[in-house]
Chain A
């Protein structure tokens, strides 16, 4: 469990270092996510039986299960922008709701539509 948390934090640390050394605009945790996924994939390919280490799997599962909680502190930040939104509520809400729905629908329908045209994909896995 501790080793698992260490792996996650080390990947994040590497991401933060890569970001500042290379001057990237991608946040450290996103770089860390791709790094961790790459390590796990390479590891599995090197030996057929290698699964995700139990510690990493446990910690990441636990964190992902309570992920919603982690967004609460930033969400309460709405209090700090209330003055900015006065008189702009309708425009803000309409823009937010419509563009989120349009993005969901365009992504989901495009993917489903192309997948449906490639029937061999459906049998995989």
Chain B
């Protein structure tokens, strides 16, 4: 019965276009709210858009699959934008090369901290093993995180959501938190955003400073490589 109802809805409405439009509108509203809040970091357009759309889907009894038929056109651009991060990376290659000595230890420590603390804190708070396993790879870019979750017995869909929520958190809190601790270096801000919050946090720092954009791109790429190797080893040991 539910099935036929869905088919009717799909048949009657230009549903993909509708959900595409709603996604753009929700993000636009998010950006306006951020502007009203004088660009406060906590007014995240990504989070606002996700909340608006989720409420609309729940209220209209629309399932995620139907929503995605429209939203996939936006989702598809994640590939090209990841490639596009190669541009700030190349334009700041001189800075990157000079910072290798500090970047490699920071990468190793940040990446390991994310995996180990995510897993153990979740378990310590009474979370189930599948949730802890889904948490371990959450800091890396969504496709790597999902593939890793699959491999170690986590839930890929949950890891994707955690990866985005971690990105929102890092985008919202990263800059104030690091400034509070006295970190002024844009290279450190960029790398930390890329490692702890991948794309969503990188999008935030990329708008603040081109050097931060370069280091966040590098953080995403290198953390992806390190985590892809480290997570299966960690899970085997834990």
Chain A interface residues toward B at CB < 8 A: 5, 8-9, 11-12, 15, 25-30, 32-41, 44, 52, 56-57, 59-61, 63-65, 67-81, 84-85, 88, 90-92, 94-112, 114-115, 118, 121, 124-125
**Interface size for chain B: under 10, 10 to 19, 20 to 34, or 35 or more residues?**
35 or more
Evaluate contact between A77 and B161: CB separation under 8 angstroms: yes
Evaluate contact between A63 and B99: CB separation under 8 angstroms: no
Q: A27-B224, A30-B224, A41-B93 are in contact. Are A72 and B49 (CB under 8 A)?
A: yes
Chain B interface residues toward A at CB < 8 A: 23-24, 26-27, 44-46, 49-50, 53-54, 57-58, 64, 67-68, 71-72, 74-75, 77-91, 93-95, 98-99, 101-103, 105-107, 109-111, 113-114, 117-118, 121-123, 125-128, 130-132, 135, 138-139, 141-144, 147, 155, 157-158, 160-162, 164-170, 173-174, 177-178, 181-185, 187-189, 191-193, 195-197, 199-200, 202-204, 206-207, 213, 217, 219-221, 224-225, 228
Q: A8-B84, A111-B102 are in contact. Are A100 and B114 (CB under 8 A)?
A: yes
Q: Which residue of A lies closest to B139 (CB)?
A: A103
A94 to B95: give the CA distance in the assembly, Å.
36
Cβ–Cβ < 8 Å partners of A33 in chain B: 82-86, 89, 217, 221
Cβ–Cβ < 8 Å partners of B128 in chain A: 88, 91
Q: A74-B142, A99-B121, A112-B185 are in contact. Are A41 and B90 (CB under 8 A)?
A: yes
State how many angstroms separate the Cβ of B71 from the closest Cβ of chain A.
Answer: 4
Contact of A26 among B77, B178, B224 (CB under 8 A): B224
State how many angstroms separate the Cβ of B160 from the closest Cβ of chain A.
Answer: 5
State how many angstroms separate the Cβ of A16 from the closest Cβ of chain B.
Answer: 9
Q: A5-B80, A71-B200, A96-B166 are in contact. Are A107 and B228 (CB under 8 A)?
A: no
Evaluate contact between A69 and B27: CB separation under 8 angstroms: yes
State how many angstroms separate the Cβ of B73 from the closest Cβ of chain A.
Answer: 9
A9 to B79: give the CA distance in the assembly, Å.
8
Q: Is the interface of A mostly helix, strand, loop or mixed?
A: helix
Q: List 27 A-B contacts (CB under 8 A).
A: A8-B84, A32-B79, A33-B89, A33-B217, A36-B83, A63-B81, A64-B206, A67-B206, A71-B142, A73-B23, A73-B68, A81-B155, A84-B158, A91-B127, A92-B122, A95-B121, A96-B162, A96-B166, A96-B169, A103-B113, A103-B196, A104-B110, A105-B177, A107-B113, A109-B188, A110-B106, A111-B99
Evaluate contact between A25 and B54: CB separation under 8 angstroms: no
Evaluate contact between A71 and B143: CB separation under 8 angstroms: no
Residue picked from A38, A68, A97, A102, most chain B C-beta under 10 Å: A68
Q: A33-B89, A69-B24 are in contact. Are A106 and B189 (CB under 8 A)?
A: no
Evaluate contact between A37 and B89: CB separation under 8 angstroms: yes
Evaluate contact between A60 and B87: CB separation under 8 angstroms: yes
A56 to B80: give the CA distance in the assembly, Å.
11
Cβ–Cβ < 8 Å partners of A115 in chain B: 99, 102, 185, 187-188
Cβ–Cβ < 8 Å partners of B26 in chain A: 72
